[in-house]
Structure 1
Amino acid sequence: MSLISISNFLLSLVFAATACTFWRAGRYLLQQYYLSSLRFVPGPPSPGFLYGNLSEIFAGDRPAIHHAWSSKYGHVLKYRGMFNMERLLTTDLRAVNYILTHSTEYHKPEKSRVMIAQIVGEGMLWAEDEQHRRQRRIMNPAFGPGQIRDLTGAFVEKAAQLRDAWSTAIGNASQTAKINIFDDLTRTTLDIIGLAGFEYHFDALQEASQTSAELRAAFRTMYSIDPSIAVMRALQLTFPPLYLVPHAGLKRLDEARRVMERVSRQLVMEKKRVIMRNIGKDVILEKSDVLERDILTLLLKANLATDLPEDARLTDEEVIAQIPTLLVAGHETTSIAASWCLYSLAKHPEIQRKLREELLQSPTEEPSMDELNALPYLDAVVRETLRFHSPVPFTLREATNDDFIPLSTPYTDVRGEVHDSIKIDKGTTILVPIAALNTSRELWGDDAAEFKPTRWESPPEIISALPGVWGNMLTFLGGPRACIGYRFSIVELKALIFVLVRVFEFEPAEEITTIANMISLKRPVVANEKENGNQLPLLVKRYSEHA
């Protein structure tokens, strides 16, 4: 081929790429500003094209901004996301219920799924429709009440190890130690998911395991995602040739995911060897033969047992794909909730004292699940923590088809027209404001912004309309994609608080806040030390009834 021919080919390629870019841009502008069904929905003005209103969210407190927008623009509003793309935000309970219960019509956004795959792989958090339903059906028994009852001992055991570590850090009974409880609780919950989930000792609290060190480094990479990574991934999805352009942040994410995949594969292979060694090499394995109670063993039953139908099995690769999700979701959200719980108790000593009085009346230091659930004030404190400090403050959905979302209360558009439903175009992104609904004054009363466990003695009737899977709140979502591990998380949280509050008193050490970023988790930071990353220091001392 001559140089002229090559030159003409390259020019044609550039021309085609340019034409494609202009065509996509023109289609985008036409849809967003002239054809969109949301174009007359009220909402805040966009401060910029690249991040839209996300720049406001990243600079402030996400639930507070959602409250402010709803107060100004109503219960149905739109805002602008990346590249000024329209997004719907609604606090209407009928609309939220419709979105969450119609999981086939409202998927996780495609860009979000790409990022999920980039971070934790293609497990149940990523799957949709029949693939998700099948995986969830197979995994459900591993998270049932009977299974959690059997795992409670592991929760209490690891909580006791943290108690002993803090006792050592404090020294003698009269001393007070400043402890970064978030870091220690994160290590402890990683140990808990290791033992309860995989019957594996990560030894993260003792920092004695290279595997746990590698995992924690991978987690830090994932939680430090900045907006530029999301921008680059969005551009790559729009213009695939950009996948050829190297990006340091995406490279770090790939490396973190590979660490989790390697650890996941190692856990599965080791567990299979243990099962087959215990049963015998030449024995045909049946469902009843696998007796261990950790979650991984129960999942492996689905692809080792010969008496289960094919649609009740998970392949090795499918099991491996679930483990990064279990590792991340199975320890991070609970450590966040436990940290904010202890922080709230530190700020409200009268609540802390009342809780401790109840816990000390328990005749055992190693309670069962039923004994934990029989403590009413502990239950109220945990409920209030999960309401007031939602570890995941929002979730996103994307319409798979044009649709009309029903409303319990009509809204008025910018032209003054009243609507009893919201017309949605295929591909529209919808934000479900979990934390904002969990702290809404319209739902919870004028004291919604207060940490008040006694509200659970007589909760407002209206919250029964919240479509949550637990506790009349949205913390664990609702519908077919509600959190599968909510029972695990609740009992684990109760076990941690039971063991720690019986022994220690907590006082505030710093003013704590949170930073909005691309990972939608309420991870704590010291207000005047945000550059030092996530931490939550408290002053901790041993409790003495004679003090």
Structure 2
Amino acid sequence: MVPSYIALIPQACFVAAVVLGLRVVAWFVYMMVIAPLSDPMRHLPGPDGSLLESHIQRVMDPELSFQTYKDWRTRYGKTFRFQGFGRHDYRLMTFDIRAISHIMSSSNYEKPWQTRSFLGRLIGKGIFSSEGRAHELQRRIVAPAFSHHSVTRATTIFFRKADEVCDRWRDIIAERMEQTRGDAHSSAHQGPFPVPSTVVDIAAWISRASFDVIGLAGFGYDFHALKDESEEVYCAYRKMFRIADKGLNLWQILELYFPVLRKIFVTDDIRITNESKKIIAKAGQAIVAEKKRAFQEAQVHGDEEKDLLTLLIKSNLHNSKELRLTDEELQDQCSTFLLAGSDSVSTAISWCFQFLAMYPDVQIRLRRELSGAPYKIEGLESDNSMDSGFVDTSARARWYEIARMPLLDHVIRETLRLHPPVHSTIRVALKDDYVPLHHPVTLRNGRLVGSHDQRSEIWERDIKIRKGTYVHIPLEGYNLSQDQWGEDALSFNPDRWKQFRHKNTPSLTPGSNLMTFGYGSSSCLGYRFTIAEMKVFIATILPQFEFALAGDVEVSRFNAIITRPYVKGKWSEGTQMPISIREL
């Protein structure tokens, strides 16, 4: 005879299923119908859409976003709302500098957990994927590694790797000329140059060089990526970043909410990512252990290494024990250095050469300016060892000369303005808030916010935002705003920076208004490193090569973690930027 309580199990399961179903229906009704009615965002101007229509692609696709920003600013002003994944998901977007300053500086706004979770899979709990107290602590410890003095020391590595790029390109040109020798009508004699030229993938070579740079400058590890792409750790990072560049599909978004799915359904991408992370973790442990040992010995012998990781370890040890980063967190900072210090910098340098190819008059002017700084200093190429004091002194002298060149500075800033490596950033409100405005907004009921309302005699300066609301900060959109940069905001014009000659800080400051490096407590600590590396590579390479567009190849952009270039129609082939080069 079956016990009575066992006979009740099917009934209990049915009741539980009904209750669960009712809760899901109630949650759906609340999210789609009730919650939007109380959302203050619905009162703001902005584009309308159907119930589940999303405007996210128009905002996040760099091929569409610049026109979207322009249209929306014209129609709705500087602050408005748009639909995320539907009418239940109103999101704030603002070009109002006072609002941006408030949001980017307030502890009430953080990167969404979804963003941090996605980044955490790649780089662990580094400074990019942390928020709150953890981010504040990491920022304080990491900051000394990117001081003006430490970046100046790293220029020795920048010069060395830039020269190595030139050597590799000469080899490529020589090989291709050898292949076509004797053929008067070979393809090497066609194209924009009257003398032999060769098309190279600038993005690939600069990416390999910047990986070598951050490996050496970051933690004294040479990937030898410029020689060949076979080093195990380098390959692991490359595989992992290529997978991340695919972006998030619907299934991967589901995995963020239910991480257990990545263990149940192990795809090829998940398997490769996991294998890569194991290789990186093993190497990271060995590097951190070696650096800590070397630092302790240096305290006795006084011969301290100068790479970023050593400086980070030194800064970390100055903290009290309860505030120090663990070895695992130090390893995560290494991965963060590699992501930010390789791909973001290499993308910026590649776009700079693309602009110089597009604007040969600027290229000629810049080459003339650089001709005053010899690209070879006697003795620099004869001893490239990192412990050579003469090399270090020569490189610094060379760096101080090019660092003061105005047109070089303007070309770099204009490149970073038009094509920032990070397209935009998202924040989420941790609690209800009032966002201050500098420019008034007309609500849908006709009332003004941010200005004196003559009808009601009420002075309203802020817009209300509720907990959980997403805020999109259009970094590129602000850089392209005609309100800030004039009617030619979409044009490459380095001379616009002449009026900011005495403004040396490339962040959002009075007289600069460049949003590429963020703003406030989340601004990029490595901006000096980025600009220095860009200046060194361009100052070294441009006097030795001439650049022109590669025929009818059209280079476009796609937005993953970094906004990368690709050949239109060949997105599946990944990051590419073919440019025709000729040795001078």
Alpha-carbon shift at residue 263 of structure 1 (Å): 3.6
CA distance in 2, matches of 1:470, 1:294: 33
Q: Deviations over 1:289-343 (max 9, x none)?
A: 561110111122245x5x7533663221221121211111111111110111000
Q: What number of residue pairs does the alignment pair up? A: 527
CA distance in 2, matches of 1:42, 1:465: 32
- Aligned in 2, Cα 1:424/1:540: closer, same or farther, shift over 3 Å? same
Matches within 5 A, 1:93-242: 93-102=97-106, 104-171=107-174, 174-207=195-228, 208-233=230-255, 235-236=257-258
- The answer for the alignment partner of 2:464 in structure 1 is 423
Alpha-carbon shift at residue 481 of structure 1 (Å): 1.1
Pick from 498, 508, 521 the counterpart of residue 562 of structure 2.
521
Alpha-carbon shift at residue 230 of structure 1 (Å): 4.8
CA distance in 2, matches of 1:360, 1:461: 23
Does residue 365 of structure 1 match 2:376? yes
- Aligned in 2, Cα 1:398/1:499: closer, same or farther, shift over 3 Å? same
Pick from 87, 94, 98 the counterpart of residue 90 of structure 1.
94
- Aligned in 2, Cα 1:101/1:526: closer, same or farther, shift over 3 Å? same
Query: Residue 325 of structure 1 aligns to which amino acid in structure 2?
Result: T
CA distance in 2, matches of 1:272, 1:464: 33
Alpha-carbon shift at residue 74 of structure 1 (Å): 1.8
Q: Deviations over 1:168-211 (max 9, x none)?
A: 11116953111011111111111100000010000112224222
Q: 8 Å contact 1:219–1:256 — kept in the other structure? A: no
Q: Deviations over 1:468-496 (max 9, x none)?
A: 59943110011111101111111011111
Does residue 18 of structure 1 match 2:39? no
Task: Compare 16-25 and 202-211 and name the one that shifted more.
Answer: 16-25
- The answer for the alignment partner of 1:43 in structure 2 is 46
Which blocks of at least 5 consecutive residues in structure 1 are unaligned? 280-284
Greater Rg, structure 1 or structure 2? 2
- Aligned in 2, Cα 1:437/1:319: closer, same or farther, shift over 3 Å? same
Alpha-carbon shift at residue 370 of structure 1 (Å): 2.2
CA RMSD of aligned residues (A): 2.9
- The answer for the alignment partner of 2:541 in structure 1 is 500
Query: Residue 250 of structure 2 aligns to which amino acid in structure 1?
Result: S
Query: Residue 196 of structure 1 aligns to which amino acid in structure 2?
Result: A
Paired residue secondary structure (2:80): strand
CA distance in 2, matches of 1:253, 1:82: 28
Paired residue secondary structure (2:54): coil
Pick from 313, 329, 343 the counterpart of residue 332 of structure 1.
343
Query: Residue 489 of structure 2 aligns to which amino acid in structure 1?
Result: A
- Aligned in 2, Cα 1:464/1:139: closer, same or farther, shift over 3 Å? closer
Q: Deviations over 1:486-536 (max 9, x none)?
A: 1111101111111111111111112211124xx242201112323322210
Does residue 347 of structure 1 match 2:351? no
- The answer for the alignment partner of 2:581 in structure 1 is 540
Matches within 5 A, 1:397-476: 397-420=427-450, 421-459=462-500, 467=508, 471-476=512-517
Query: Residue 267 of structure 1 aligns to which amino acid in structure 2?
Result: I
Q: Percent sequence identity over matched residues? A: 30
Does residue 380 of structure 1 match 2:380? no
Alpha-carbon shift at residue 125 of structure 1 (Å): 1.1
Q: 8 Å contact 1:93–1:465 — kept in the other structure? A: no
- Aligned in 2, Cα 1:246/1:80: closer, same or farther, shift over 3 Å? farther
- Aligned in 2, Cα 1:540/1:415: closer, same or farther, shift over 3 Å? same
Query: Residue 456 of structure 1 aligns to which amino acid in structure 2?
Result: W
Alpha-carbon shift at residue 365 of structure 1 (Å): 2.8
CA distance in 1, matches of 2:120, 2:401: 39
CA distance in 2, matches of 1:250, 1:71: 43
CA distance in 2, matches of 1:416, 1:460: 43
- Aligned in 2, Cα 1:469/1:213: closer, same or farther, shift over 3 Å? farther
Which blocks of at least 5 consecutive residues in structure 2 are unaligned? 178-187, 189-194, 378-394, 451-461
Pick from 47, 53, 56 the counterpart of residue 58 of structure 2.
56
Query: Residue 354 of structure 2 aligns to which amino acid in structure 1?
Result: Y
Alpha-carbon shift at residue 419 of structure 1 (Å): 0.9
Matches within 5 A, 1:242-391: 246=265, 248=267, 253-275=273-295, 278-279=297-298, 285=299, 289=302, 291-302=304-315, 305=317, 309-310=320-321, 313-365=324-376, 367-368=395-396, 369-391=399-421
Task: Compare 110-119 and 308-317 and name the one that shifted more.
Answer: 308-317
Task: Compare 402-411 and 256-265 and name the one that shifted more.
Answer: 256-265
Query: Residue 249 of structure 2 aligns to which amino acid in structure 1?
Result: P
Q: 8 Å contact 1:97–1:467 — kept in the other structure? A: no
CA distance in 1, matches of 2:502, 2:218: 37
Paired residue secondary structure (1:82): coil
Alpha-carbon shift at residue 257 of structure 1 (Å): 4.2
Q: 8 Å contact 1:469–1:476 — kept in the other structure? A: no
- Aligned in 2, Cα 1:380/1:28: closer, same or farther, shift over 3 Å? same
Q: 8 Å contact 2:414–2:494 — kept in the other structure? A: yes
Query: Residue 518 of structure 2 aligns to which amino acid in structure 1?
Result: L
- Aligned in 2, Cα 1:415/1:227: closer, same or farther, shift over 3 Å? farther
Q: 8 Å contact 2:370–2:543 — kept in the other structure? A: yes
- Aligned in 2, Cα 1:241/1:499: closer, same or farther, shift over 3 Å? closer
Alpha-carbon shift at residue 54 of structure 1 (Å): 1.9
Paired residue secondary structure (2:436): strand
Alpha-carbon shift at residue 58 of structure 1 (Å): 6.0
- The answer for the alignment partner of 1:511 in structure 2 is 554
Paired residue secondary structure (2:199): strand
Alpha-carbon shift at residue 8 of structure 1 (Å): 4.3
CA distance in 2, matches of 1:213, 1:301: 29
Alpha-carbon shift at residue 404 of structure 1 (Å): 0.8
Query: Residue 28 of structure 2 aligns to which amino acid in structure 1?
Result: A
Q: Deviations over 1:228-283 (max 9, x none)?
A: 255314553xxx8867763635565555544443443332233334445x45xxxx
- The answer for the alignment partner of 2:384 in structure 1 is none
Query: Residue 415 of structure 2 aligns to which amino acid in structure 1?
Result: T
State the TM-score, normalized to the length of structure 1.
0.89
Alpha-carbon shift at residue 34 of structure 1 (Å): 0.6
CA distance in 2, matches of 1:3, 1:461: 82
CA distance in 1, matches of 2:263, 2:233: 32
Alpha-carbon shift at residue 30 of structure 1 (Å): 3.9
Paired residue secondary structure (1:450): coil
CA distance in 1, matches of 2:515, 2:11: 58
Task: Compare 67-76 and 346-355 and name the one that shifted more.
Answer: 67-76
Q: 8 Å contact 1:179–1:540 — kept in the other structure? A: yes
- The answer for the alignment partner of 1:282 in structure 2 is none
Q: 8 Å contact 1:466–1:474 — kept in the other structure? A: yes
Paired residue secondary structure (1:194): helix
CA distance in 1, matches of 2:504, 2:26: 47
Q: Deviations over 1:339-382 (max 9, x none)?
A: 11000000000000001111111145365342231111111111
Alpha-carbon shift at residue 64 of structure 1 (Å): 2.7
- Aligned in 2, Cα 1:244/1:202: closer, same or farther, shift over 3 Å? closer
CA distance in 1, matches of 2:501, 2:55: 33
Q: 8 Å contact 2:162–2:536 — kept in the other structure? A: yes
CA distance in 2, matches of 1:473, 1:491: 17
Alpha-carbon shift at residue 223 of structure 1 (Å): 1.3
Alpha-carbon shift at residue 71 of structure 1 (Å): 2.0
CA distance in 2, matches of 1:3, 1:175: 86
- Aligned in 2, Cα 1:24/1:181: closer, same or farther, shift over 3 Å? same
CA distance in 2, matches of 1:537, 1:250: 31
Q: 8 Å contact 2:43–2:444 — kept in the other structure? A: yes
- Aligned in 2, Cα 1:345/1:223: closer, same or farther, shift over 3 Å? same
Q: 8 Å contact 1:464–1:472 — kept in the other structure? A: no
Query: Residue 567 of structure 2 aligns to which amino acid in structure 1?
Result: V
CA distance in 1, matches of 2:506, 2:465: 23
